[in-house]
Each structure stands twice: as C-alpha cells, then as structure tokens.
Amino acid sequence: MEKNVTAPDRLGVTLLPDGRRLGWAEWGPASGTPVLFCPGAATSRSLGFGAHLLAGLGDHGVRLISVDRPGLGASDPAPGRTLLDFAGDMTSLVGLRELTGVRGIGFSQGAPFLLACAAAGTLDAAAVVAGTDELAHPSFAASLIPDVAAMVDAVRSDPVAAERFFAGWGDADGFWQRILSMAGDGDRAVYTDPAFAEAYRRALHEAFVQGPGGYARDTVLASARWPFDPADVRIPVDLWYGDADTSPVHSPDLGATLASRLPDARRHVVAGAGGALLWTHAEPILETLMSR
C-alpha cells in the first residue's frame, strides 16, 4: 500500500474555449497513455495515487492527469454548471491537449463526473473507485441513511437552497473531521498516517482556496438525478468497492445496481478494503484499467 502520496510531476492550466481556466496536475511519463482522474469531494488536483506504478504500466506507462473541477483549486468557477457541462470541459481539454486513447478514473464524489464523461464519448475505458452512486435514483429510496436521504430530498425540492446550505459546510478543516467521522478503522488508519494526512489536508485547503462554491455545486450535482442514462455508457467500466467501506455517500449496494445499469461493467468487491481503496489497491485498479 502507498500511504505516502507523491507531489505531481507537472502542474498546468488550460484555457477553455469560453475563456475559463482549468487546472490540472500530472504524474508519470508525458508519453504515457492518458488517464483522466476525477478526484473525490473537496479535494484538489494535487492528491494523486499510485505514482510509483505509472512508468511500468502498459507499453509506454501511464500519464495520470488530475483535474480541478470548476470553482475548486486552480479552475475558474462556472456557476450553474451541470455534469454534462463538466463532460464538455473534459472533451475540450482532451482536444486542446491533443490526448488520444484516453481512459478515466473517478473516486468517490468524482464518480458521477467521470461517468458523464464516459456517456459523452470522451473516454475509451473507465474505473469507478468507491464511487458515489446515483443516490437520487428510485431504487435507493429505502436504503439511504436518514441524513443522506434528507440531503437528496433537499436537492430534489429546492436545489438553490440546498447549494447555499452546502456552501455553509465549506471549510477544509471541518471537512477533514467529517471524513474521519465517516471512516471505518481501516480507512482511518490510512487517512491519519502523517504523510498521507498532510497531503490530503493540503489538497482540501487548495480546493477551498476560492471559497466553498465549487464544493457546494459538486454536492448538488452528485445528490441529484443524473442528466444521462448509464445505459448510454458504451465503454467498459470497472466498479471497485471495498466491503468494509462505511461511507454513507458511496454506493448503498457497493455498485450492484450501477453494474446492472451499465452495458459493459465488471464489479470488484474487495474483502477487507474500505473507501480508501484508491490508495490501498492502486495496482490492480490501474492494471485492470490498462488491460481494457
């Protein structure tokens, strides 16, 4: 397990067609197969994973590209944006940076953003890791814990008010405490490792540098119905969950329903693993993605 995450090899900003800046970070060889990474909630581009593995994967290695969503970190805000707007940003990024054969990984709250990119045809293959599911889908109405059900209902009834409410949570240190409060023993051991905690907390502070608006918008989008049908995702998708994941905002059934809604999905449930799967099991996740 790689607890000690590595600083990016390269940092940059791409100017989108509408003039907004999109911040990104890269690890691995610049000539490697590009893998777009959609990070978890309220974290910036700087929190990567598996950097020690990237050079040895595939024929030319992996070029891991983590992107700050609008309003977080180094990316300009885009008020009122949707999941499909984000997919459009990623399509622009791929074209402007002349990336080909692009794969993608979405962790936790980054999962719906990744799947929007997949539905838009931006990716050749994808992996969802401890991903937030479509919590507002009717199939989960009876399986959400009360706090999450209330969050979903609030977004459904008044998304503008819900976004203002989520903005009130917008504090990096407070968010760190919420992460620890939801984590099981195994995840807490990963997150509180001194080197990992330093990198994670730095990414949280970077994400909130513009204020809480970016996080609040992300949370509204992740808590609402998706504006695309998973049946439209025509690429192979691997779903990775740990059976010891205690997060109430990941998939209530560890991806079982989501796997049934995707035309080409493989579901992996790792015994004893938790929500920190991206760092505890980076090697099989990356190797499987590169084999697709």
What proportion of the chain, given as a percentage, has pLDDT over 70? Answer: 98
Q: Is the pLDDT of residue 2 over 90?
A: no
Does this model's pTM top 0.95?
yes
3-state SS record for 21-33: EEEEEEECCCCCE
Q: Which pLDDT tens digit goes with each residue over 8-58? A: 999 999 999 999 999 999 999 999 999 999 999 999 999 999 999 999 998
Q: What is the mean pLDDT of residues 103-132?
A: 98
Contacts for 91 with CB less than 8 Å, ≥ 6 apart: 117, 120, 122
Measured distance CA(44)–CA(24) in Å, rounded: 9
Average pLDDT score over the chain: 95
Residue 59's pLDDT is 84
Phi, psi of 165 (to 5 degrees): -65, -45
Q: For the chain, list the domains and their CATH numbers.
A: 10-291 (3.40.50.1820)
Measured distance CA(135)–CA(109) in Å, rounded: 11
Residue 229's pLDDT is 96
